[in-house]
Amino acid sequence: LTRGRLIGIGIGPGAPGRITLEAVEVIRKADVICTPRSENKEESIAYEIIKRWCTGKRIVAMPYSMAPDHKAREKSWQDHAQTIASSCSEGELVAFVTLGDPGLYSTFAYVAKLVRGIDSQIPVAIVPGVTSVSACAAAIGQSLAQAEETLTIQPCSQVLAKRGVWWRNFDCVVVMKIGRKLPDLVKHLHRLSLLEHTTLVTRAGFGTGTITSGSDLLTCDAQNGYLATMFVRAGVNNETGAKK
Protein backbone atom coordinates (compact mmCIF):
# COMPACT_ATOMS: atom_id res chain seq x y z
CA LEU A 1 0.00 0.00 0.00
CA THR A 2 1.23 3.49 -0.83
CA ARG A 3 0.50 6.38 1.53
CA GLY A 4 -1.73 9.34 0.82
CA ARG A 5 -4.86 7.66 -0.41
CA LEU A 6 -8.48 7.01 0.40
CA ILE A 7 -9.75 3.47 0.83
CA GLY A 8 -13.40 2.56 1.29
CA ILE A 9 -13.53 -0.51 3.47
CA GLY A 10 -16.48 -2.86 3.66
CA ILE A 11 -16.61 -4.33 7.15
CA GLY A 12 -19.50 -6.74 6.68
CA PRO A 13 -23.02 -6.57 8.05
CA GLY A 14 -22.47 -6.60 11.81
CA ALA A 15 -20.73 -9.67 13.22
CA PRO A 16 -17.03 -8.97 13.77
CA GLY A 17 -16.29 -12.45 12.34
CA ARG A 18 -17.59 -11.30 8.96
CA ILE A 19 -14.97 -8.65 8.40
CA THR A 20 -12.34 -9.78 5.87
CA LEU A 21 -8.65 -10.27 6.63
CA GLU A 22 -7.92 -7.61 3.98
CA ALA A 23 -10.19 -5.10 5.73
CA VAL A 24 -8.47 -5.70 9.08
CA GLU A 25 -5.06 -5.37 7.43
CA VAL A 26 -5.95 -1.99 5.90
CA ILE A 27 -7.54 -0.72 9.14
CA ARG A 28 -4.33 -1.65 10.98
CA LYS A 29 -2.22 0.24 8.43
CA ALA A 30 -4.45 3.31 8.18
CA ASP A 31 -3.49 6.61 9.80
CA VAL A 32 -7.04 7.92 9.92
CA ILE A 33 -10.29 5.99 10.27
CA CYS A 34 -13.45 7.79 9.17
CA THR A 35 -16.64 6.45 10.70
CA PRO A 36 -19.93 7.69 9.28
CA ARG A 37 -22.87 7.87 11.67
CA SER A 38 -26.37 9.25 11.48
CA GLU A 39 -26.60 12.64 13.25
CA ASN A 40 -29.31 11.39 15.61
CA LYS A 41 -27.23 8.39 16.79
CA GLU A 42 -24.62 8.58 19.52
CA GLU A 43 -22.49 5.76 18.15
CA SER A 44 -21.43 4.58 14.74
CA ILE A 45 -22.38 0.90 14.30
CA ALA A 46 -19.37 0.55 12.02
CA TYR A 47 -17.03 1.89 14.71
CA GLU A 48 -18.39 -0.58 17.27
CA ILE A 49 -17.34 -3.42 14.93
CA ILE A 50 -13.82 -2.20 14.20
CA LYS A 51 -12.78 -0.44 17.41
CA ARG A 52 -10.70 -3.44 18.59
CA TRP A 53 -8.27 -2.72 15.71
CA CYS A 54 -8.22 1.05 16.15
CA THR A 55 -5.99 1.56 19.18
CA GLY A 56 -3.77 4.58 18.60
CA LYS A 57 -5.53 5.60 15.38
CA ARG A 58 -7.02 8.99 14.67
CA ILE A 59 -10.76 8.39 14.52
CA VAL A 60 -12.80 10.99 12.66
CA ALA A 61 -16.53 10.66 13.24
CA MET A 62 -18.50 11.80 10.21
CA PRO A 63 -22.03 12.62 11.30
CA TYR A 64 -24.47 12.94 8.45
CA SER A 65 -27.87 14.51 8.43
CA MET A 66 -30.96 12.45 7.62
CA ALA A 67 -32.94 15.68 7.12
CA PRO A 68 -34.94 16.01 3.90
CA ASP A 69 -33.02 19.24 3.23
CA HIS A 70 -30.55 18.20 0.49
CA LYS A 71 -28.49 21.35 0.93
CA ALA A 72 -27.73 20.60 4.61
CA ARG A 73 -26.81 17.01 3.74
CA GLU A 74 -24.53 18.06 0.89
CA LYS A 75 -22.82 20.68 3.04
CA SER A 76 -21.90 18.16 5.75
CA TRP A 77 -20.53 15.66 3.19
CA GLN A 78 -18.60 18.41 1.42
CA ASP A 79 -16.97 19.27 4.77
CA HIS A 80 -16.14 15.60 5.41
CA ALA A 81 -14.69 15.26 1.90
CA GLN A 82 -12.49 18.28 2.57
CA THR A 83 -11.22 16.69 5.80
CA ILE A 84 -10.41 13.47 3.92
CA ALA A 85 -8.73 15.29 1.01
CA SER A 86 -6.56 17.32 3.42
CA SER A 87 -5.38 14.15 5.22
CA CYS A 88 -4.63 12.42 1.91
CA SER A 89 -2.65 15.36 0.60
CA GLU A 90 -0.57 15.25 3.80
CA GLY A 91 0.37 11.68 2.84
CA GLU A 92 -2.01 9.89 5.17
CA LEU A 93 -3.78 6.64 4.48
CA VAL A 94 -7.45 7.33 5.14
CA ALA A 95 -9.83 4.41 5.67
CA PHE A 96 -13.53 5.16 5.34
CA VAL A 97 -15.42 2.26 6.89
CA THR A 98 -18.82 1.23 5.72
CA LEU A 99 -21.23 -1.52 6.79
CA GLY A 100 -21.50 -4.39 4.34
CA ASP A 101 -19.84 -3.54 1.02
CA PRO A 102 -18.87 0.01 -0.03
CA GLY A 103 -20.46 -0.54 -3.45
CA LEU A 104 -23.98 -1.32 -2.27
CA TYR A 105 -26.11 1.65 -1.14
CA SER A 106 -23.18 3.09 0.74
CA THR A 107 -22.21 6.73 1.23
CA PHE A 108 -18.69 5.82 0.14
CA ALA A 109 -19.31 6.30 -3.59
CA TYR A 110 -20.66 9.77 -2.89
CA VAL A 111 -17.78 10.72 -0.58
CA ALA A 112 -15.18 9.38 -3.02
CA LYS A 113 -16.66 11.48 -5.82
CA LEU A 114 -16.52 14.62 -3.68
CA VAL A 115 -12.91 13.89 -2.66
CA ARG A 116 -11.90 13.39 -6.32
CA GLY A 117 -13.69 16.64 -7.10
CA ILE A 118 -11.44 18.43 -4.59
CA ASP A 119 -8.26 16.71 -5.83
CA SER A 120 -8.45 14.35 -8.78
CA GLN A 121 -4.92 13.05 -8.02
CA ILE A 122 -5.95 11.35 -4.78
CA PRO A 123 -5.92 7.59 -5.37
CA VAL A 124 -9.15 5.91 -4.29
CA ALA A 125 -9.53 2.16 -3.74
CA ILE A 126 -12.17 -0.21 -2.39
CA VAL A 127 -11.89 -3.23 -0.13
CA PRO A 128 -15.09 -5.23 -0.70
CA GLY A 129 -17.13 -6.59 2.17
CA VAL A 130 -19.76 -9.24 2.85
CA THR A 131 -23.07 -7.57 1.97
CA SER A 132 -26.11 -7.62 4.23
CA VAL A 133 -27.90 -9.33 1.33
CA SER A 134 -25.57 -12.34 1.58
CA ALA A 135 -25.74 -12.33 5.37
CA CYS A 136 -29.55 -12.24 5.37
CA ALA A 137 -29.82 -15.01 2.75
CA ALA A 138 -27.48 -17.11 4.88
CA ALA A 139 -29.58 -16.39 8.00
CA ILE A 140 -32.61 -17.99 6.34
CA GLY A 141 -30.58 -20.74 4.67
CA GLN A 142 -31.53 -19.69 1.15
CA SER A 143 -29.43 -19.19 -1.93
CA LEU A 144 -29.92 -15.86 -3.67
CA ALA A 145 -30.02 -17.37 -7.14
CA GLN A 146 -29.10 -20.62 -8.77
CA ALA A 147 -29.00 -22.04 -12.28
CA GLU A 148 -31.14 -19.80 -14.54
CA GLU A 149 -32.82 -17.85 -11.72
CA THR A 150 -32.83 -14.06 -11.77
CA LEU A 151 -32.20 -11.72 -8.85
CA THR A 152 -32.92 -8.04 -8.32
CA ILE A 153 -32.08 -5.69 -5.44
CA GLN A 154 -34.43 -2.73 -4.98
CA PRO A 155 -34.77 0.05 -2.41
CA CYS A 156 -38.15 0.01 -0.66
CA SER A 157 -39.13 3.37 -2.21
CA GLN A 158 -38.92 1.85 -5.69
CA VAL A 159 -40.93 -1.23 -4.75
CA LEU A 160 -43.70 0.98 -3.34
CA ALA A 161 -43.70 3.19 -6.44
CA LYS A 162 -43.99 0.37 -8.99
CA ARG A 163 -47.22 -0.88 -10.47
CA GLY A 164 -47.99 -4.11 -12.32
CA VAL A 165 -46.57 -7.59 -11.91
CA TRP A 166 -42.89 -6.70 -12.38
CA TRP A 167 -41.75 -8.98 -9.52
CA ARG A 168 -42.81 -12.01 -11.57
CA ASN A 169 -39.81 -11.32 -13.83
CA PHE A 170 -37.44 -12.08 -10.98
CA ASP A 171 -37.12 -15.29 -9.04
CA CYS A 172 -35.82 -13.36 -6.06
CA VAL A 173 -36.58 -9.72 -5.23
CA VAL A 174 -34.44 -8.31 -2.41
CA VAL A 175 -35.81 -5.15 -0.76
CA MET A 176 -33.45 -2.90 1.22
CA LYS A 177 -33.68 0.49 2.98
CA ILE A 178 -37.13 -0.23 4.39
CA GLY A 179 -37.04 1.77 7.65
CA ARG A 180 -40.32 3.39 8.66
CA LYS A 181 -41.96 2.24 5.43
CA LEU A 182 -42.25 -1.36 6.72
CA PRO A 183 -46.01 -1.19 7.44
CA ASP A 184 -46.66 0.29 3.96
CA LEU A 185 -44.48 -2.35 2.33
CA VAL A 186 -46.25 -5.20 4.15
CA LYS A 187 -49.66 -3.78 3.17
CA HIS A 188 -48.51 -3.45 -0.44
CA LEU A 189 -47.31 -7.06 -0.57
CA HIS A 190 -50.48 -8.26 1.19
CA ARG A 191 -52.65 -6.54 -1.43
CA LEU A 192 -50.65 -8.34 -4.12
CA SER A 193 -51.03 -11.72 -2.30
CA LEU A 194 -47.25 -11.96 -2.04
CA LEU A 195 -46.86 -12.35 1.72
CA GLU A 196 -46.70 -16.15 1.53
CA HIS A 197 -43.54 -15.75 -0.57
CA THR A 198 -41.99 -13.09 1.69
CA THR A 199 -39.40 -13.22 4.49
CA LEU A 200 -38.00 -10.29 6.47
CA VAL A 201 -34.57 -10.59 8.12
CA THR A 202 -33.48 -7.97 10.65
CA ARG A 203 -30.07 -7.26 12.14
CA ALA A 204 -28.41 -10.26 10.49
CA GLY A 205 -25.13 -11.02 12.17
CA PHE A 206 -25.76 -8.89 15.27
CA GLY A 207 -26.96 -11.77 17.43
CA THR A 208 -30.25 -9.93 18.04
CA GLY A 209 -31.73 -10.60 14.63
CA THR A 210 -35.25 -11.70 13.77
CA ILE A 211 -36.80 -13.64 10.90
CA THR A 212 -40.47 -13.07 10.06
CA SER A 213 -42.38 -14.68 7.21
CA GLY A 214 -45.81 -14.84 5.62
CA SER A 215 -48.85 -13.50 7.48
CA ASP A 216 -46.77 -12.94 10.67
CA LEU A 217 -45.50 -9.85 8.86
CA LEU A 218 -48.94 -8.26 9.29
CA THR A 219 -48.43 -8.05 13.06
CA CYS A 220 -44.69 -7.50 13.29
CA ASP A 221 -43.29 -4.46 15.08
CA ALA A 222 -42.87 -1.40 12.81
CA GLN A 223 -39.37 -0.97 14.31
CA ASN A 224 -38.37 -4.15 12.45
CA GLY A 225 -37.94 -2.05 9.31
CA TYR A 226 -34.55 -0.82 10.52
CA LEU A 227 -31.45 -2.79 9.49
CA ALA A 228 -33.85 -5.09 7.69
CA THR A 229 -33.78 -6.84 4.35
CA MET A 230 -36.75 -8.55 2.72
CA PHE A 231 -36.87 -11.41 0.24
CA VAL A 232 -39.84 -11.93 -2.07
CA ARG A 233 -39.64 -15.17 -4.03
CA ALA A 234 -42.66 -15.11 -6.31
CA GLY A 235 -40.97 -15.42 -9.69
CA VAL A 236 -41.80 -17.85 -12.43
CA ASN A 237 -38.78 -20.16 -12.17
CA ASN A 238 -38.28 -20.80 -8.51
CA GLU A 239 -39.76 -23.92 -7.06
CA THR A 240 -41.71 -22.31 -4.24
CA GLY A 241 -42.71 -19.15 -6.12
CA ALA A 242 -46.18 -18.37 -7.49
CA LYS A 243 -46.87 -19.18 -11.11
CA LYS A 244 -47.62 -16.45 -13.63
- For ligand SAM, the binding residues (CB under 6 A) are 13-14, 98-101, 104-106, 131-132, 136, 176-177, 201-206, 227-229
Least distance in angstroms from the C-beta of 235 to ligand SAM: 20
d(CA 99, CA 14): 7
CB 101 within 8 A of CB 132: no
Residue nearest to ligand SAM (CB): 100
Least distance in angstroms from the C-beta of 7 to ligand SAM: 15
Give ∠ CA 207-59-75 in degrees, rounded to 5.
100
Q: Where are the alpha helices (DSSP H) in the chain?
A: 21-29, 45-50, 70-89, 108-118, 132-139, 156-161, 182-191
Give ∠ CA 232-236-240 in degrees, rounded to 5.
60
Q: Which is nearer to ligand SAM, 118 or 138 (CB)?
A: 138
Q: Which is nearer to ligand SAM, 38 or 240 (CB)?
A: 38
Q: Which is nearer to ligand SAM, 87 or 224 (CB)?
A: 224
Residues linked to residue 36 through DSSP beta bridges, in sequence order: 62
Quote the DSSP letter at residue 53. G
Q: Which is nearer to ligand SAM, 101 or 149 (CB)?
A: 101
Least distance in angstroms from the C-beta of 168 to ligand SAM: 23
Least distance in angstroms from the C-beta of 205 to ligand SAM: 5
Q: What is the dihedral of CA 11, 203, 134, 101, to 10 degrees?
A: -30
Q: Which is nearer to ligand SAM, 92 or 194 (CB)?
A: 194
Least distance in angstroms from the C-beta of 13 to ligand SAM: 4
Least distance in angstroms from the C-beta of 66 to ligand SAM: 11
Q: Which is nearer to ligand SAM, 92 or 124 (CB)?
A: 124
For residue 216, the tally of other CB atoms under 10 A from its CB is 12
